[in-house]
Amino acid sequence: MSIKVPYVPTPTSVAMEIIKRTKPRPGEVIVDAGAGECNIVIEAARRFELIGLGIEKDPVLVKRCLERINAEGLRGRVYVAWGDIFQFNYSIADIVYLYLGTDVNKELAPILFSTLKRGARVVSHDFEIPGYKPTEVGSVKGPLRGHKYYLYIKT
């Protein structure tokens, strides 16, 4: 898959409010597809006691993730995988966080929903997943604008 998604950092407060809507439980695994600098998985590990895994294909951003994970003492709780989100096996995830765009979500959805375990949650920031019905649609306030989220639960 050769779809390009620009790196657009999500305000941490917005991402945590969206993740809170998934009802995270300590020890669950959250995967951020297209993790950038791993802001989301790092903060989710801290705030919700989750195990975080970021998937990122840009080696510069992967290096930055590793530096931050080490500097913040989160080795063993937060990980980064250097790779393609379309080649990843999502079966370990309890929660998948997406901020990718509708076209990318559409391409990724069959991979997600064929590999996720029953009860896993997929939450997409601002962009729905075409062809799939969300369990919940809502909004959260950000520092500059409102943000929508679409929550899907694997049945």
pLDDT digits over 57-95, tens only?
999 999 999 999 999 999 999 999 999 999 999 999 999
Q: Do 89 and 29 meet the contact criterion of CB atoms below 8 Å apart?
A: no
27 — pLDDT class (breaks 50, 70, 90): very high
Whether the CB-CB separation of 32 and 134 falls below 8 Å is answered with no
> Are the beta carbons of 33 and 85 closer than 8 angstroms?
yes
Structural domain spans, the chain? 27-153
Q: For domain 27-153, give its CATH number from 3.40.640.10, 3.40.250.10, 3.40.50.150, 3.40.190.170.
A: 3.40.50.150
- Reported confidence tier of residue 2, pLDDT bands at 50, 70, 90: low
Q: What is the pTM of this model?
A: 0.94
